[in-house]
């Protein structure tokens, strides 16, 4: 029996909000889409995978999915049923069973996949579903009053995966192409005259639709509150020369030397800039603000940091906290650390309590210890906002 999985991931997730398509949101270090792909990639029952993605993401090379099985990416359509139809067209002709799954259900298990496939092979069509636990009311026509109370034991909530013999799914899709509407493929299969078997679903197999769903999913994934955490490190060093200003995060320290650099040589801001860019996998300070570009000549470090903050926010990240160590033989950084923290916090968009600045000497060792250079190490923790 040759089985192909079709993973629907073309939805934009407007109810969820955010700037990225919903299937590309991260959950515990992997996207929702990658989690679903992984489940079907691990299943010994599945031979191939077809992913339906938004048209701009479906372009060759635009989407990287790890896995061991053949995986094709096709563009979605205007509606879910149009997207699944596009995916079905890409299914290998020798497929006996086609399994359709929503990428927005990232906790699907191998066992549920296998049981749904077996039921479809036996009955023609099968869906994962969970029985209603609450009393179910049908609203009256005006939707203001209860029209009737339905027998709870007869009500099931549909999930995915939904599996079909190839000819059954083809009939359902052709019906949809002919103008019939269905919220899932099983509904179209029913309208095409095919019985659909119920397979016991999994309460953890939730569909992520709203921000509350995403919060629950993060808890199920063991992810800390506030989104997936990403850590970046940064380092900067500049030689010191007489007659130059020594500025750290916009705070000028009284000294007869200052850093030599294309910009202002602010090692604190430069190290933090690299740390936050690194945490977001957004390049480094040299890529964004090259020393060959006259725009950045004598540019204040806080200005470069502010631009880097905008870059990581565009990628859906917020800054949780930053820790900086300044290596400088003299003058002492400690008396100025509070003001440095406040200046940086304002640019980072966090409270000063989330910014740490420490000054250390290098005990007379190397160029820093000889008072010939200043350096800084930084660590930044970012969280993806989804």
**Which distant-in-sequence residues (6+ apart) come within 8 Å of 373 by Cβ?**
237, 238, 239, 240, 367
CA distances from 221 to 103, 129, 170, 216, 218 (A): 15, 22, 35, 9, 5
Domain with CATH 3.30.1330.50 in the chain: 229-384
- Look at residue 21 in the predicted model and tell me its pLDDT: 78
Cα angle at 46 between 40 and 47, to 5 degrees? Answer: 120
- Look at residue 226 in the predicted model and tell me its pLDDT: 61
Residue located via tokens 């010191």: 240
Other Cβ atoms closer than 10 A to 286? 11
- Look at residue 24 in the predicted model and tell me its pLDDT: 85
- pLDDT (tens digit per residue) in 269-287: 999 999 999 999 999 999 9
Among 251, 255, 259, which residue's Cα sits nearest to residue 368? 259
- Look at residue 19 in the predicted model and tell me its pLDDT: 57
Domain with CATH 3.90.550.10 in the chain: 3-220
- pLDDT (tens digit per residue) in 69-126: 999 999 999 999 999 999 999 999 999 999 999 999 999 999 999 999 999 999 999 9
Determine the topology of domain 3-220 in CATH: Spore Coat Polysaccharide Biosynthesis Protein SpsA; Chain A (3.90.550)
- Look at residue 228 in the predicted model and tell me its pLDDT: 72
The pLDDT averaged over each successive group of 10 residues in the chain (386 residues) is: 96 65 81 93 96 86 82 92 96 96 96 98 97 94 93 95 98 94 94 97 94 87 73 97 94 94 92 97 94 91 95 89 96 96 93 95 94 97 79
- Look at residue 276 in the predicted model and tell me its pLDDT: 97
- Look at residue 229 in the predicted model and tell me its pLDDT: 83
**Is the domain defined by 229-384 classed in CATH 1.10.3720.10?**
no
């Amino acid at each position: 029996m040759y089985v192909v999985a079709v993973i629907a991931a073309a939805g934009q997730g407007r109810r969820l909000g955010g700037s990225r398509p919903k299937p590309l949101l991260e959950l515990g270090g992997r996207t929702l889409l990658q989690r679903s792909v992984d489940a079907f990639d691990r299943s010994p029952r599945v031979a191939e995978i077809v992913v339906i993605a938004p048209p701009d993401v479906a372009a060759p090379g635009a989407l990287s999915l790890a896995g061991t099985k053949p995986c094709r990416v096709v563009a979605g359509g205007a509606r879910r049923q149009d997207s699944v139809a596009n995916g079905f067209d890409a299914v290998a002709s020798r497929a006996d069973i086609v399994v359709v799954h929503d990428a927005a259900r990232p906790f699907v298990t191998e066992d549920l996949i296998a049981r749904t496939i077996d039921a479809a092979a036996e009955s023609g069509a099968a869906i994962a579903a969970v029985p209603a636990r609450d009393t179910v009311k049908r609203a009256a026509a005006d939707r203001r009053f209860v029209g009737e109370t339905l027998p709870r034991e007869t009500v099931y909530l549909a999930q995915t995966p939904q599996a079909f013999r190839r000819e059954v799914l083809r009939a359902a899709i052709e019906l949809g192409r002919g103008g019939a509407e269905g919220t899932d493929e099983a509904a179209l299969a029913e309208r095409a005259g095919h019985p659909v078997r119920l397979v016991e679903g999994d309460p953890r197999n939730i569909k992520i639709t709203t921000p509350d769903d995403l919060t629950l999913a993060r808890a199920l994934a063991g992810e800390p509150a506030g989104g997936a955490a990403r850590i970046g490190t940064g380092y900067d060093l500049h030689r010191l020369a007489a007659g130059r200003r020594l500025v750290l995060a916009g705070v000028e320290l009284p000294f007869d030397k200052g850093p030599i650099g294309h910009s202002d040589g602010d090692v604190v801001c430069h190290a933090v800039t690299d740390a936050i860019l690194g945490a977001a996998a957004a390049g480094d300070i040299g890529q964004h603000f090259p020393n060959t570009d006259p725009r950045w000549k004598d540019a204040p470090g806080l200005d470069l940091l502010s631009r880097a903050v905008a870059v990581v926010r565009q990628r859906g990240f917020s800054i949780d906290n930053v820790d900086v160590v300044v290596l400088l033989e003299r003058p002492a950084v400690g008396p100025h650390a509070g003001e440095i923290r406040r200046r940086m916090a304002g640019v980072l968009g966090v409270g000063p309590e989330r910014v740490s600045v420490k000054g250390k000497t290098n005990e007379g060792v190397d160029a820093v210890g000889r008072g010939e250079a200043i350096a800084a190490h930084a660590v930044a923790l970012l969280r993806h906002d989804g």
